[in-house]
Structure 1
């Protein structure tokens, strides 16, 4: 069963990194460069609430039950339409896909420049992402 979930995570990661549009091939062969390797990626999601950041090869993931978060190492992969980060958070596999696209957290008036899809073990979580170079717009304090 674990292999099935790993396969699902890989399928989600690959789908998140494919070119968008009408389904026709864009001919794109260059890896996504919309987020530089030296940028810190910040993530947030609701239902359940979660947040975190990735800087280089280190990630921090937090929840209301663990506000300081857990730190762990990740590997980065740039696909055709996004970037993903993979690692191990305790007993759970952590696969985060960041893709360009306007995103709302549904709780504030903020608009984020990226969507975030997280597979945490077998559970999928959706959220938004931003960087210092590509910040969200809207209120600083929601």
Structure 2
């Protein structure tokens, strides 16, 4: 395990420890201490979105596509996937900066679309931290398809 992945994993586990209660998104449950997070399987595609600034993308396997308003085609980066105690982490490098994303169970709103998402996202690129929401086909958002 690389040093950066170990740091990201320890930060991720600390973040996951702050999550409330044993219930996760509908159809999922929080894992017992010590168990690897299984609410998002390694074969699933995770989609994510955030605001201010607007960003989004998807992760599948060891590839992640990160989009912004300035680059709607997106940046495709290689990532390492880490299933922690209460969430999922992705670590890679984006334009020379560390890219670390933690996805944890919890009701989430992007504040703009009237959608409710089953996962929260904490994204750190270099020194900048952002928050957002995520979903999968197995754990979809609720609300309008095209807000």
* SS state at 1:17 partner: helix
Is contact 2:32–2:85 with CA below 8 Å preserved after alignment? no
Q: Residue by residue, what CA displacement relative to the aligned partner does 1:43-76 show, whole Å, maximum 9, x if unpaired? A: 1000110001001000000001000100010001
- 1:98 maps to which residue? 103
> Normalization by structure 1: what TM-score?
0.86
* SS state at 2:85 partner: coil
* Gap change, CA 1:71 and 1:92, over 3 Å in 2: same
Distance in 1 separating the partners of 2:7 and 2:144:
36
* Gap change, CA 1:49 and 1:16, over 3 Å in 2: same
Distance in 2 separating the partners of 1:29 and 1:54:
24
Q: Would you say 1:75 and 2:80 are equivalent positions?
A: yes
- 1:121 maps to which residue? 126
Q: Which runs of 5+ in 2 are unaligned?
A: 22-30
> Normalization by structure 2: what TM-score?
0.84
Q: Would you say 1:133 and 2:138 are equivalent positions?
A: yes
Q: Structure 1 residue 90: deviation in Å?
A: 1.1
Q: Residue by residue, what CA displacement relative to the aligned partner does 1:59-117 show, whole Å, maximum 9, x if unpaired? A: 00000100010001000111110010000011111000000000000001100000000
Distance in 2 separating the partners of 1:131 and 1:124:
23
| Number of corresponding residues | 136
Q: Would you say 1:58 and 2:54 are equivalent positions?
A: no
- 1:3 maps to which residue? none
Distance in 2 separating the partners of 1:139 and 1:21:
27
Q: Residue by residue, what CA displacement relative to the aligned partner does 1:16-62 show, whole Å, maximum 9, x if unpaired? A: 2337448xxx9611111110000000010001100010010000000
Is contact 1:19–1:81 with CA below 8 Å preserved after alignment? no
Q: Would you tell me which structure has more strand in proportion to its own residues?
A: 1
Distance in 2 separating the partners of 1:42 and 1:129:
6
